[in-house]
């Protein structure tokens, strides 16, 4: 992955104390991973490991471990993994650093684990556009012939939602401002972009729809910041 992007993510996690709920996306599992279960659980073969790619501090990884026998939390930033290991020590989840754009690394992980299912929330839109094809190819390697991907990304409407929230004034969305401080710019995609990136790696979408990210951030009036997102369930075609 791009070194500047790596440094930005490292800096973001280094700035946060080892506490839950401090990142804008670190919502309670009841409104994220657990709420998502009905959308993908029937597709995830129970005998396959589940990878939470872009696990951050491991909140959702720990929740998934309550529903699947083996869960691994993977993140690009070593500092994020340090958060996860500190906060989720009792969850029974193994946390590792992993670069999703490293196809060779994906092959090595697949050789170790075999086919896997993947839970992934808000990862691809944060990657440099030139690396998304590699990331999709790595996902195809990890899934193999038996795994499924559940991926959630910001919808096209999310960019305007964020812009409007920022414009409310300096007291609005302080956690989102922390993201921008580290040059981690949330990027809403054009409609169909996620499906196109996956299709380029031979991944076929079997289900899709809309969900809402109930963020941990607040607007100027104290209301919660909600962000529109799209999800897909995909497998190798």
pLDDT at 14 over 80: yes
pLDDT tens digits for 140-181? 999 999 999 999 999 989 989 999 999 999 999 999 999 989
Q: Whole-structure pTM over 0.85, yes or no?
A: yes
pLDDT at 62 over 60: yes
State how far the Cα of 84 lies from the Cα of 75, in Å rounded to an integer: 10
Evaluate whether 118 touches 51 at the Cβ level (below 8 Å). yes
pLDDT at residue 191, as a whole number: 86
Superfamily of domain 3-236: Vaccinia Virus protein VP39 (3.40.50.150)
Evaluate whether 24 touches 217 at the Cβ level (below 8 Å). yes
pLDDT at 4 over 80: no
Domain boundaries, the chain: 3-236
Token code pair at residue 153: 């990304």
Q: What band does 3 get if pLDDT is binned at 50, 70 and 90?
A: low
Token code pair at residue 39: 């959308």
* Strand arrangement of the beta sheet that strand 94-97 belongs to: 94-97, 71-75, 50-53, 117-121, 149-154, 224-236, 203-218
The whole-chain average pLDDT of the chain stands at 94
pLDDT at residue 187, as a whole number: 63
């Amino acid at each position: 992955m791009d070194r500047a992007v790596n440094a930005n993510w490292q800096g973001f996690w280094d700035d946060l104390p080892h506490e839950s709920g401090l990142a804008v996306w670190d919502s309670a599992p009841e409104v994220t991973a657990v709420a998502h279960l009905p959308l993908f659980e029937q597709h995830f073969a129970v005998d396959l490991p589940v990878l939470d790619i872009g696990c951050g501090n491991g909140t959702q990884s720990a929740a998934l471990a309550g529903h699947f026998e083996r869960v691994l939390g993977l993140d690009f930033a070593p500092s994020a993994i340090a958060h996860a290991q500190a906060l989720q020590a009792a969850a029974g989840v193994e946390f590792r650093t992993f670069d999703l754009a490293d196809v060779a690394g994906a092959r090595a992980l697949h050789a170790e684990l075999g086919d896997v299912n993947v839970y992934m929330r808000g990862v691809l839109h944060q990657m440099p556009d030139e690396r998304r094809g590699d990331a999709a190819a790595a996902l195809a390697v990890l899934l193999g012939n038996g795994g499924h991907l559940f991926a959630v990304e910001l919808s096209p409407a999310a960019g305007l939602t964020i812009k409007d929230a920022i414009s409310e004034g300096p007291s609005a969305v302080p956690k989102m401002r922390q993201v921008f401080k580290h040059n981690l710019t949330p990027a809403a995609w054009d409609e169909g972009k996620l499906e196109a990136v996956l299709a380029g790696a031979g991944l076929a979408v079997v289900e899709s729809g809309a969900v809402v990210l109930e963020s941990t951030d607040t607007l100027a009036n104290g209301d919660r910041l909600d962000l529109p997102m799209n999800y897909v369930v995909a497998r190798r075609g």
